[in-house]
Amino acid sequence: MTYDGRMTRPPRPPSAILRLLPVLLWCGLVLAALPEMPRAPGRPADRSHNCRLWGIAGETPRGSALREQLLGGAASIDSLSRFDRDGWGLAYYPSAAGGGGGGSAPVCVVERSAAAAIDDPRYDTAAAALIYAAPPIALAHIRRCSSGLCGIPDPHPFRREKGGRTWLLAHNGTIGKAVLLDLIRPDYLAANPPQYGSNAAEWIDSDLYQIFLLQCLEDYAFAVKPALGAAVERLRAAIAAPQLNFLLSDGAALWAYAEGNTLCYAAEAGDSAFAAVMSQPPTVSGEGWTWLTDGDLVTLEPGAAPLVERIEQYFDGTGADGEPPALPRAMALEQNYPNPFNASTVIAFELPARAAVRLAVCSALGRHVATLADGVRGAGRHEVRWDGRDDSGKPVASGVYLCRLEGAGRSAVRKMIVLK
């Protein structure tokens, strides 16, 4: 009651939030003083993802690994679709026909849907079919729409026939369509129009990205790595911070490139040897997976260890005019480096045209030791790393070894020295 006798409302008690405010401030100060949680070894800084990628190459990939990466892991494709819900796509080559011999494109199976993979029973069916097929090469993509038409069946992996081969591309990132349209020649775009959308506003940047990469591949007579080097060099010249992550395959090999978003790879040796690449590991621990850095190009081939190279080694000054370099006139095998070596060495060779080649190591007495490459390669320069192990995975003894390249009716030999 006031001094004049009127009743007054008693003071309102502070709200629950106000009462808790000192506690919240104290907790904030404590958390700020705590050390930052350590990041998994080798993991790059977190980046936003427009989409997610997965790819695998192997002679007989284990069903358990495929299930973990497609269906079961904490960060498997279906689990990640909780965040990227604009569709999914699975594609694979049922057999290693990717060379396109005789001018025929390899058989390719593509399954797609506009629904989120985790909510779509068709994804489970398609993933089960892929696991059962155990294909030598497979790709997967889940989409977060950021360019062009949305609400359509996920167009990734994009599929096109060129040079007698079926090319698949899956992309993670956003690239300005105006930049890509400046890089694609008008006549090439007219002959290879986008697969989705009727005008530039509806076109999808990743669709244009594949068109541009195929233009570079044709310019370079389908020498894949020089063509990809030229493409990246030109895109870097046009974009300050490009998001170029992609998986590309012709059925014979799978190329994974990291720039602008995270990408990692893993490999398993033995009877079920395979190599896989993903936007992030399928498990929380990430054990056995290696993070790539911007500019890393990984080549995955069935039956071969992953080959990680820097894309810059394939730059040739095409950033300005896009003119491809001259191809080598004859097959050549370069001297390995370093030589002598202890842990590993790099062996480079050049091809004037696409050809079936075999690169093998034998002892000084001619006894077979290891097969480093056996299959079709495009024109241009190629590099293979040898870790000093035989085909069974055992380290070789110190001594002199011969590296032999055979292909296109020719052969070449170089001496190598292993020092343990």
In the chain, where are the structural domains located? 51-314, 332-418
List per-residue pLDDT tens for the chain, 420 residues long: 443 444 443 444 555 444 544 544 454 443 344 333 334 444 444 444 556 778 888 866 566 666 666 666 555 665 555 556 567 888 888 865 444 334 444 578 888 877 776 777 888 788 888 888 888 898 888 766 555 556 666 577 889 999 888 999 988 878 888 999 999 999 999 999 998 888 888 888 889 999 999 999 988 888 899 899 999 999 998 988 788 989 999 988 999 999 988 888 888 776 567 888 888 777 777 788 899 999 999 999 887 888 899 999 888 765 445 555 556 678 889 999 888 998 888 898 888 887 889 999 999 888 999 999 988 887 778 888 898 999 998 999 999 999 999 987 788 999 999 998
Q: What pLDDT sits at residue 190?
A: 93
pLDDT value at residue 255: 96
pTM exceeding the 0.75 threshold for the entire prediction: no
Q: How confident is the model at residue 172, as a pLDDT?
A: 83
pLDDT at 287: 80
Query: What was the pLDDT predicted at 388?
Result: 92
Q: Which CATH architecture has domain 332-418?
A: Sandwich (2.60)
CB 418 within 8 A of CB 401: yes
Structure-derived torsion over alpha carbons of residues 86, 247, 158, 356, reported in degrees to the nearest 10: -160
CATH class label, 51-314: alpha beta
